[in-house]
A and B are shown apart, each in its own frame.
Chain A
Amino acid sequence: MAERRTIVIDPVTRIEGHSKITLHLNEEGQVYDAQFHVTQFRGFEKFCEGRPFSEMPALMARICGICPVSHLIASAKACDALLAVKIPPTADKLRRIFGLAQVVQSHALSLFHLSSPDILLGMDADPAKSNIFGVLEKNPQLAKDGIGLRKFGQQIIERLGGKRIHPAWVVPGGVSDPLTQDDRDAILKTIPDALAIAERSIVWLRGTIEGFRQEIASFGNFPTLFMGIVKPGGGLTFYDGKIRFVDASGTLVAKDLDPADYQEFLGEKVEPWSYLKSTYYKPKGYSEGVYRVGPLARLNVADRCGTPRADQELAEFQELQRTAVLSSFHYHHARLIEILYCIERMEQLLNDPEILDKHVRAVAKANAMEGVGAAEAPRGTLFHHYKIDEQGLIRWANLIIATGQNNLAMNKSVLQVAKHYVKGEKITHGMLNRVEAVIRAYDPCLSCSTHAAGHMALQVQLLSPDGAVVDEVVRN
């Protein structure tokens, strides 16, 4: 009789950060359990304690080199709440442009550089070719387009924030400098090319995903809730609004939730096998409260995008399924629709008559002891929550990151894919690559999300050769 086996995929490649996947196979060679472990650790929530709150946006931007702008924005919004000010309208619009530019470059990185080898070359492609160079050889235009969109987003961030990575331009009360006419005009000039790339890419993806019916059926294709921020009236937004939950049928479960009240509807749990916290919808409890965030969720909760071309694409996207679109494979498609929306929306904002106004910052001292800021980061809803003392020093901080909110769904997805594909005596690269690919679909950003300091659980197991647990030590 065959023995139980464990397969470890370490590291998971082509994602942001470091992780591994463990698959447990029974005597018949069938997967019966799987875990996605995040093995890196950062403790931002802890080491920011004692710092002046005004430092928080710049400090928090250092969490990530891919989405520092999202942390800047959510952090600055938490600080706005501490100041208890309404920021100037132009600052509000400039922050939105900044955030949209980052979504474009981050989505482009995920789709074109990390996931396109799977989509373009196939899940079973030779691992020696299944990388960015394989993409370059097979479809150079696609690779150039990926670089073009990244550059487009990065240049806007640089023009507004002074540098591409870790800019500190978003500050409590607004932004530090207004937009100049030269920079506005320069950005507007790049919009048509970026739009053309987005349009081409959507055509490419639509024509390609037909070949992935099995993956669509098995890549995180199960009922969960979906969560996202929508603007008043239900439109897509990345900056401000109320939170909505819809269920797998597309029915509204909750609406008009204030992000500042997140503790009332979101719970967090730490598992002993990962540094990544798992977030769940509190009213349904830990096991039933699985929800997804990010591009797929945003398009499931929003009634419309609010820009002409993105709305046309959203209408087609909603035709994929009569309920909410459930397969996590469609994160890729959703990402491209969001890129289209972001470019169109930036053009609208840049043509706003107020956009060059010089009044871009409200100045105040702290007027509240606690503040929450929330925004839609590329990977999903991001919360920053701070408490300060009388001196304005941070006494407590909590960050809820998109990747943590997708953690339960990612683990379920790994199990679903592994059960579907990993079986038999011979384990192939294609089988295991699909297990990794479903994680890539979520585009997890692990450096952003590992902040479980102070409640890190630990589980050490001593296993016999046949896999039986001989001894176990648990700290929880």
Chain B
Amino acid sequence: MPRVLVICIGNTLRSDDGYAWHVADELNTQPEEDRRVLKVHQLTPELAEAMSEVSLVIFVDAAMRGDPGELACDPVTTTGANLHFSHDVTPAVLLGMAKTLYAKEPRTFLICAGGKVFEHGESLSPEITAAIPRTLAKISELANTEGR
């Protein structure tokens, strides 16, 4: 049973928004038994069940805020989590669902890389491309230090 769940969120048809899927592809070139990698367009409620089965969850997403290529890694808590739109499920909402429904609250982090281009296109900007190795290193660091 995997211990770490990496949920990569994005749309590869919107340039830098596809960053997390590229991260997922890199992770999948070196699969690990205790790590599960999911590529999703959007967050959906049933992911809460998958989160409840691991001790560490890492969301990866591109962000419109921050400098292009800048990496931020923040812990996710259930504080202030709410669901107004089904298209707007957040990591905090999912963590809250995992906690309430399955009595599991895995350590959860959100890694965001600042994007530069979100127009139609299938290639990444040089800035966010450069963030991919740093993202992989951060995921590795979290997997080695958190949720054990």
Contacts and interface: CB of A to CB of B under 8 A. Distances in A.
A14 interface: yes
A238 to B, nearest CB: 21
Contacts of A166: 41
A261 interface: no
A132 B83 contact: yes
Contacts of B48: 147
B101 A143 contact: yes
B46 A154 contact: yes
B22 to A, nearest CB: 17
B101 A131 contact: no
Nearest to A127: B82
A109 B87 CA distance: 11
A15 B42 CA distance: 16
A13 B81 contact: no
Given A14-B84, A131-B82, A136-B101, A65 B42 contact: yes
Contacts of A164: 44
A16 B44 CA distance: 13
Contact of B83 (A17, A113, A137, A151): A113
A166 B40 CA distance: 11
Contact of B45 (A13, A17, A150): A150
Contact of A65 (B41, B45, B93): B41
Contacts, number: 66
Interface string A368-409: 000000000000000000000000000000000000000000
Interface string B37-66: 000111011101100000000000000000
Interface string A130-165: 011100110010011011001100100000000011
Contacts of A109: 45, 86
B28 interface: no
Contacts of B84: 11, 13-14, 131
Nearest to B103: A140
A151 B97 CA distance: 15
Interface string B99-126: 0110000000000000000000000000
A143 B85 contact: no
A16 B88 CA distance: 10
Interface string A341-371: 0000000000000000000000000000000
Contacts of B85: 11, 13-16
B45 A147 contact: yes
A114 B93 CA distance: 14
B45 A66 contact: no
A147 B49 contact: yes
A147 B46 contact: yes
B63 to A, nearest CB: 20
B100 A133 contact: yes
Contacts of A132: 45, 83, 93, 97
Given A132-B97, A136-B97, A140-B100, A146 B45 contact: yes
B120 to A, nearest CB: 11
A380 to B, nearest CB: 18
B10 interface: no
B96 interface: yes
Nearest to A150: B46
B98 to A, nearest CB: 10
A165 B45 contact: no
Contacts of B96: 133, 136
A133 B87 CA distance: 16
A137 B100 contact: yes
A113 B46 contact: no
A443 B97 CA distance: 23
A132 B99 CA distance: 13
A16 B81 contact: no
A201 to B, nearest CB: 15
12 contacts: A11-B84, A11-B85, A13-B84, A16-B85, A16-B86, A16-B87, A113-B86, A133-B81, A136-B100, A140-B101, A143-B97, A165-B41
Given A133-B97, A150-B46, 19 more contacts: A13-B85, A65-B41, A109-B86, A113-B83, A131-B84, A132-B45, A133-B83, A133-B100, A136-B96, A136-B97, A137-B100, A143-B101, A146-B45, A147-B46, A147-B48, A147-B97, A147-B101, A164-B44, A165-B42
- Lowest 4 A-B CB distances belong to which pairs? A136-B100, A151-B46, A132-B83, A13-B84
Interface of B: 40-42, 44-46, 48-49, 81-87, 93, 96-97, 100-101
